[in-house]
Structure 1
């Protein structure tokens, strides 16, 4: 069984930095995000870790974990949205109070997907892969990003549909943001292995391959236990994105995931857009996708709205989804099925 948190507009957003904090030169972005959220009826409570960054992390692991534990236990906090990702979130997992984690939304992506996936696998509580707090600082939001709230406001037993974006951002231009932060200049086109129409159904799980692969073999990455305990007899749709891995490293990581049983009972895979798909000796990202699809005998779609080339869908770990991809367009309907 999956438990879905409930959030109402106007709740207090808790902002902590379980991975990287923010350098002083970028504090203005946090204040802009806070101001925009206040305009939209939200309050924001920042933890001390948000305002600091040293040696690739906001604070020592124990301190980061303690701050997150406090926000999770605080009934005044309706949801938790960190400023952004980082590099070393995995350090805090052993210090979290796993027995006391409540059904409360945590939203984010990149390194934060380690936390999101671990919570869902360990507890059966749904978590949300989507925008970070920094990216909510715009005067407006594009249609894809703006779905974060309707998705999180979906109640158990209900469903919500998201469609592929019209355009996406190729390059980050943080010093000259558009009214909705992103510069959406490139036409979105969802692709599939073989160019065929793809349909898949199953429970969503996923995140950034660079970091979630390190959960394999730990107490926080037991996909088989999650399947047996929380979604017995059901299939999984994996959504994945690649931030920095070279083509061959991506292939090694996916083979490791397959050998670890993560792709057992998988009905399909979705890959987000990537800016690092450089061939290695003529071996391309498309080759990787074709090989994985053939090995598993399942459909695979890529260049979807997920990851480090925004905008991105709000994808719920644990939700039941129906995905359709055809002629460059796609949709994901999520059912908040217990």
Structure 2
């Protein structure tokens, strides 16, 4: 066998070998972190863009005033390597240290940006599997949510972040994302004996039915560009039977078209049980019209329920969604019902 014929096999072997230790995980082996309660420790990390500005300290003081202990690595604020929040080694070690620390109950990225996908092959997923804890965030953190779903099967939370909206919870315009986040992960929000809940929608907001119907599946997805970026890697989404949710920001319509074309050609759209389309933030009304047209092109012909304009993504009305949890999508009523508590309360 010559080099040209061996090369694809070697690339395949290298991809599998570099994916980290494999764990035998099945469809019914998902785990849930413990809900947060006063006295718990929250670890702030910067796996993507740098932590800068007063927002960081505002969030720390806010959570400490509620009875939580907040920790971070020395020098986290201002730590920077070009557009990243530190070197790959620093950012990966930061996450792994907290994954292995039994006192830490939530890992909260301060913000998104870029860089999470650079370190996915360095994360200790087995530590999270052994000790599930709340992992929050959205945007670039989509990469971590998808990788955790593949390698640890622990429910995580597509949610606002410390320096993205949560620090502003006292402002009326940002009360909703804080309330939605608390509903999902705080122990005091759960009534003994009750199971699951309907994700609350902001007042005056009405999701739009594109394709009607009701379906149950596991909620997976996040930022569209990150979902596409991980295609072909060991960390890619496993879409079969899932409720796929997507959002994006500052992407022109032709790029959204390109991303969705890749998902279609890869067979992802043929495998999902339902779709939730969140915020696709654009620069102006003309671009919004073009993006809406593209979304209609790809999703209006699907034979599964599809809901548009759901309040999730790069918007002040960013609902927290438990990534990996079983949910019921009802496109006719515009609701998402979480069918199981995404955290353990006791």
Q: Same fold (TM over 0.5)?
A: yes
Check if 1:208 corresponds to 2:229: no
- Indicate yes or no: 2:95 matched with 1:68: yes
What CA distance in whole angstroms lies between the structure 2 residues aligned with 1:334 and 1:136?
Answer: 22
- C-alpha displacement at 1:258, in angstroms? 2.4
Is residue 37 of structure 2 the alignment partner of residue 9 of structure 1? yes
Contact 2:166 2:177 in 1 (8 A): no
Deviation at 1:117, TM superposition (A): 1.4
Is structure 2 residue 195 aligned with structure 1 residue 158?
A: yes
Does 2:79 match 1:52?
yes
Q: What is aligned with 2:250?
A: 244
Work out the CA distance in 1 between the residues paired with 2:232 and 2:286. 28
- Whole-angstrom CA distance in 2 between matches of 1:314 and 1:245: 22
In the aligned structure 1, how far is the partner of 2:141 from the partner of 2:320? 14
**Rg larger for:** 2
Compute the displacement of 1:290 (Å). Answer: 2.0
Q: Distance in 2 between matches of 1:202 and 1:39?
A: 38
**Cα distance, 1:92 vs structure 2:** 0.7
Query: What is the match of residue 136 of structure 2?
Result: 107
Structure 1 residue 44: deviation in Å? 0.9
RMSD, aligned CA: 2.7
Task: Quote the residue 1:18 is aligned against.
Answer: 47
Please give the secondary structure, in 1, of the residue aligned with 2:280: coil
Aligned mate of 1:125, from 113, 138, 154: 154
Equivalent residues of 1:14, 1:45 under 8 A apart: yes
- For residues 149 and 104 of structure 1, the distance between their equivalents in structure 2, rounded to whole angstroms, comes to 15
Contact 2:220 2:237 survives alignment (8 Å)? no
Asked whether the equivalents of residues 145 and 311 of structure 1 are also in contact (C-alpha less than 8 Å), the reply is no
Rounded to whole Å, the distance in 2 between the matches of 1:214 and 1:157 is: 38
Secondary structure of 1:148's aligned partner? helix
d(CA) in 1 for partners of 2:250, 2:168 = 26
Task: Go from structure 1 to structure 2 and tell me whether the alpha carbon gap of 1:200 and 1:70 turns closer, same or farther (over 3 Å shift).
Answer: same
| Alpha-carbon distance between aligned partners in 2 of 1:251 and 1:121, rounded to the nearest angstrom | 26
The 3 A distance-change label for structure 1 pair 61 and 202 is: same
Question: Can you give the 5+ residue segments of structure 1 that lack an aligned partner in the other structure?
Answer: 167-186, 228-234
The alpha-carbon deviation at position 162 of structure 1 amounts to 1.6
Q: Report deviation, 1:138.
A: 3.0
Gaps of 5+ in 2: 1-27
1:121 positional shift: 2.1
Shift of 1:287: 2.2
Q: Tell whether 2:312 aligns with 1:306.
A: yes
Matched residue pairs, number?
302
Match of 1:43 among 54, 60, 69: 69
SS in 1 for 2:121: helix
